[in-house]
Amino acid sequence: MSFRHWVILLPLVAALLSCSGPSNDRPGKKHTITIAGSTSVMPFTEKLAEHFMVDHKDFVIDVQGGGSTAGIQAVINNTVELGMSSRPLKDAERRLNTITICYDGIVVVVHPNNPISELDLDMIRQIFSGRISNWRQLGWVDRKIDAVSREEGSGTRGAFEDLVMAGKEIDDGTMVQDSNGSVKEVVATDPYAIGYISMGLVDKKVRPVAINGVAPSIRTIKSGRYKIVRPFLYVTNGELDTKPSRFVDYVLSQEGQQILRNEGLVGFYD
């Protein structure tokens, strides 16, 4: 075998070696907790995991996305210990355990220059179903409303359909963006746009609209006056092992809940 053969063979050998899976025994006996599911819950879980791992050096928490449905499926298949869901379980999934970690308000947002600060739930329904299509109908300028929604299958869209649309379909002419961030970006740049995003992501670039006279805030969600709220859930298959349950305990502790609160979510201790 000359050098030239090795040039050809080496990549092959390397490719073969890389096919064998990663080995599980890490030095120092670390406990790995795998979590997967809703991309709405994922950033908050990641934040919690970071803080948790600072104090618990022997834990490695692996947080993945995939969406609520995929996360729940992974729990059923026992491929992950914890699933994240931003929607209540469906009938077929009822046998799983759920742990509510916090609540998230869905907020209807407009451009900061938009003078409309309050809408009825029914008006919002009519805007997104295409029945109200001009800002003049709501007492502003004669200009088409640029409604922005989320894509089919998104947890935020699912919650919005359940809590706001009440059976009415979102109009086909509505623009669609594939993340809370993109919806916010469109609303922040287009003065005539209206969209809906997680309350945790509202900042100065967009303005939340009061619904039926109630402005979205942690207080109004806690008191139950602001109605467009969804739970963020952890889903488990049966009782948790002691290792993953230590993370869940942390999330439900004062400290964990304070982290969620700082992110704009509504926890249990307020």
Partner 1 sequence: MIDRTVLKEHFVKWVLVAFALSSLLFLFLIFIFILAEGLPLFLKVGVNKIIFGMKWAPTKGHFGIFPMIISSFLVTVGALIVGAPLGLSCAIYLSEYAGKRARMLLKPAIELLAGIPSVVFGFLGVIYIVPLVRNYLGGSGFSLISTSLVLGVMILPTIISISFDALVSVPRTYREGSAAMGATKWQTIYKVIIPTAKSGILASFILGMGRAIGETMAVIMIAGNALRIPTSILDPLRTLTGNIALELAYATGDHRLGLFSTGVVLMLIIMILNYIANFGIKRKIAK
- The structure tokens listed for 73 are 């499926």
Which two structure tokens, joined as six digits, stand for 63? 């947080």
Name the minimum Å distance from CB 166 to partner 1: 15
15 vs 54, beta carbon nearer partner 1: 15
* Cα–Cα distance measured from residue 100 to residue 234, given in angstroms and rounded to the nearest whole number: 6
Q: Tell me the β-bridge partners of 175.
A: 148
Nearest to 132 by CA among 105, 183, 180, 168: 168
**How many other CB atoms are found less than 10 A from the CB of residue 267?**
21
Paired sense of beta strands 82-85 and 229-236, if any = antiparallel
Minimum Å distance from CB 52 to partner 1? Answer: 26
Write down the least CB distance from residue 178 to partner 1, Å: 5
CA distance 87 to 83: 12
State which residue, 86 or 220, has the beta carbon closest to partner 1.
86
Residue whose entry in the numeric block shows the structure tokens 């298959």: 237
Residue 148 C-beta: closest distance to partner 1, Å: 8
Return residues touching partner 1 (CB under 8 A): 8, 39, 65-70, 73, 144, 146, 151-155, 169, 172-178, 185-186, 189-190, 192-193
Measured from the CB atom, the residue of 109 and 266 that comes closer to partner 1 is: 109
* Cβ-Cβ contacts under 8 Å for 27 (sequence gap 6 or more): none
Interatomic CA distance for residues 86 and 229, integer angstroms:
10
Which is closer to partner 1, CB of 104 or CB of 146?
146
Of residues 154 and 236, the one with the C-beta less far from partner 1: 154
Closest separation in Å from C-beta 142 to partner 1:
12
